[in-house]
């Protein structure tokens, strides 16, 4: 391998790293709310700015969602595998916590997003 090949490969890798960093900065900003869905239906929307603990009852058991210091975390659950408890805390827009046995999803959303799912415009 020639010196120019090494420089070229290093340059491509550097560009890739810069693109990933830029994407995480611009498109994964800290979110403002945690949207809790149980069995595909929105159960509750919680602000990440207020520290709170919520018990989430489901048909198959319960989960405890803790909002603290702007992060959402499932701290307790009675599901058999407890994979939801082992997931890391989340706070960036688009991140999710999932408990499959309880059909529970916690998704971080931007508090400035338009939550109206109606039409954007009316045409004749």
pLDDT one-digit tens code per residue, 79-110: 999 999 999 999 888 899 999 999 999 999 98
In tens, the pLDDT along 27-85 reads 666 778 999 999 999 999 999 999 999 999 999 999 999 999 999 999 999 999 999 99
Q: How far apart are CA 14 and CA 16, in angstroms?
A: 5
Whole-structure pTM value: 0.69
The runs of H, that is alpha helices, within 28-81 are none
- Residue closest to 50 by CA, chosen among 73, 21, 70, 23: 70
Residues composing the chain: 124
């Amino acid at each position: 391998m020639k010196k120019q090949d090494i420089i070229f490969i290093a340059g491509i890798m550097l560009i890739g790293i810069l693109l990933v960093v830029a994407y995480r900065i611009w498109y994964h900003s800290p979110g403002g709310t945690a949207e809790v869905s149980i069995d595909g239906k929105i159960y509750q929307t919680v602000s990440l700015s207020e520290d709170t603990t919520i018990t989430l009852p489901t048909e198959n058991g319960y989960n405890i969602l803790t909002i603290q210091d702007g992060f959402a975390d499932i701290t307790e659950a009675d599901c058999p595998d407890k994979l939801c408890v082992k997931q890391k805390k989340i706070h960036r827009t688009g991140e999710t916590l999932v408990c499959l046995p309880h059909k529970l999803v916690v998704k971080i959303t931007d508090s400035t997003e338009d939550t109206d799912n109606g039409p954007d415009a009316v045409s004749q």
